[in-house]
Structure 1
Amino acid sequence: MNYTLIIQLALMFGVLYLFMILPQQKKAKKEKEFESGLKVGDKIITKSGMHCKISEIAETTIVVETMSGKLKMEKSAISLEMSAALNKKA
């Protein structure tokens, strides 16, 4: 059996894990921590670009206040990067 082929495949999967899967897992963990740290009154920006203020929080959903009224949306619709930049400026 050709051991160089096995070594090449193992290296290929190692590089794939190191450069694709591991960073994606870190980002998902960071987003989960951000979502669990949200509280009423926080100012956020959604992934679609809406600027909102949190008025109610449930397990997977939130109710936000906008200029036109209240909306209910999923926590996953909040942009981590844009919301962090908004709160950093303020």
Structure 2
Amino acid sequence: MNILLQAAAGTGSGMGTSLLMMVAIIAVFYFFMIRPQQKKQKEVQRAREAMKVGDKVVTAGGIHGRIKEVGDSWFLVEVADGVKLKFEKTSVFASSSDVTTP
């Protein structure tokens, strides 16, 4: 009989334990998934801001070229002699020196 009474009295602490577990899971997600992604985005943004005229770049579509002009939100990239294309800064992912070739 005492065992049944103890089991019934112990169910009240389940709410606090569940809340604690939920907070722990959210913290794990933040530190192992969200925070590293934010760091990577900041690093990519800094790399884009550091790109200047003359840098070799690769776009999201895999087009290789050299920056000829830099605007507020775009790059003018020369992909061949006399062929210049305008790309949004967000579509330029890396400089050619950062890309490894197989």
Match of 1:6 among 19, 22, 25: 19
Q: What's the % identity of the aligned pairs? A: 34
CA change 1:82–1:15 in 2 (3 A) is farther
Rg larger in structure: 2
Which string of whole-angstrom CA distances, capped at 9 and with x for unpartnered residues, describes residues 33-55 of structure 1? Answer: 00110100000111211111000
CA change 1:66–1:80 in 2 (3 A) is closer
TM-score by structure 1 length?
0.86
Q: Is residue 39 of structure 2 the alignment partner of residue 30 of structure 1?
A: no
Q: Helix, strand or coil for the counterpart of 1:80?
A: strand
Gaps of 5+ in 1: none
How far is 1:78 from its partner? 1.2
In structure 2, distance between residues paired with 1:13 and 1:47: 32
User: Residue type of the partner of 1:8?
Assistant: M
In structure 2, distance between residues paired with 1:85 and 1:71: 20
Equivalent residue for 1:21? 34
Let me know the Cα RMSD of the aligned residues.
2.0
Equivalent residue for 1:75? 89
**2:56 touches 2:95 (CA, 8 Å); kept in 1?**
no
How far is 1:82 from its partner? 5.8
TM-score by structure 2 length?
0.77
Equivalent residue for 2:53? 40
In structure 1, distance between residues paired with 2:95 and 2:36: 16
After TM superposition, the runs of 4+ consecutive aligned structure 1 residues lying more than 6 A away are none
